[in-house]
């Protein structure tokens, strides 16, 4: 199975009672699609220059985001359902309750970017609920750059 190289842009927006924050990550990664499952992988570096690897598995009505390295988590998004996970980083652990409102995925084409959009709510360590939007757009970089895996 071949991994196709991609360039991706991930935008995370968080809305709470007082504030809205936006984080943008732009990286190069890989994309694999087989049947009704698609997988995005990429690495990023945090503000301390520590590596974080991300593996995003996309299926109808379900997305799983697994991060490892400087932070670890395994977050599941299931449309209309609540899930729980633990986010671990250098300052400790955070218990997350996630309710997924909407998942939209569009597979990439040679001339058209792929898109993943997830709208969800979280409660961190039992505190106030926050609304989130995760948008990942990614462009295929071409078969001449295929990564054999």
* Structural domain boundaries in the chain: 2-141
Residue 77: Cβ-neighbour burial (10 angstroms; 0-12, 13-18, 19+): buried
128 three-state secondary structure: coil
> Which residue in 67, 77, 95 sits closest to 134, CA to CA?
77
Give the model's pLDDT for residue 8.
96
Residue 117 has pLDDT above 70, yes or no: yes
Fold of 2-141: Lipocalin (2.40.128)
Give the model's pLDDT for residue 109.
84
> Which residue in 71, 77, 75, 76 sits closest to 93, CA to CA?
71
pLDDT-derived band of residue 142, with 50, 70 and 90 as boundaries?
low
Q: What is the reported pTM? A: 0.89
pLDDT-derived band of residue 89, with 50, 70 and 90 as boundaries?
confident
Distance, in Å, from the CA atom of 3 to the CA atom of 87, rounded to the nearest integer, reads 28
pLDDT-derived band of residue 65, with 50, 70 and 90 as boundaries?
very high
Residue 147 has pLDDT above 70, yes or no: no
Give the model's pLDDT for residue 148.
47
Say which residue, 1 or 138, is predicted with more confidence. Answer: 138
pLDDT, average across residues 72-96: 94
Give the model's pLDDT for residue 1.
58
pLDDT-derived band of residue 79, with 50, 70 and 90 as boundaries?
very high
Tokens representing 97?
């309750």
């Amino acid at each position: 199975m071949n991994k196709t190289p991609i360039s991706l842009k991930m935008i995370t927006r968080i809305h709470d009672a007082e504030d809205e924050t936006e984080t943008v990550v732009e990286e190069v990664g890989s994309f694999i699609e087989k049947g009704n499952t698609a997988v995005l992988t990429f690495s990023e570096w945090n503000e301390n220059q520590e590596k974080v690897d991300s593996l995003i598995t996309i299926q109808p009505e379900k997305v799983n985001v697994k991060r490892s390295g400087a932070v670890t988590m395994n977050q599941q998004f299931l449309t209309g359902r609540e899930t729980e996970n633990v986010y671990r980083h250098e300052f400790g652990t955070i218990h997350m309750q996630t309710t997924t409102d909407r998942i939209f995925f569009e597979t990439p084409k040679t001339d058209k970017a792929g898109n993943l959009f997830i709208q969800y709510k979280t409660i961190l360590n039992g505190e106030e609920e926050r609304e989130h939007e995760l948008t990942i757009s990614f462009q295929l970089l071409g078969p001449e750059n295929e990564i054999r895996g």
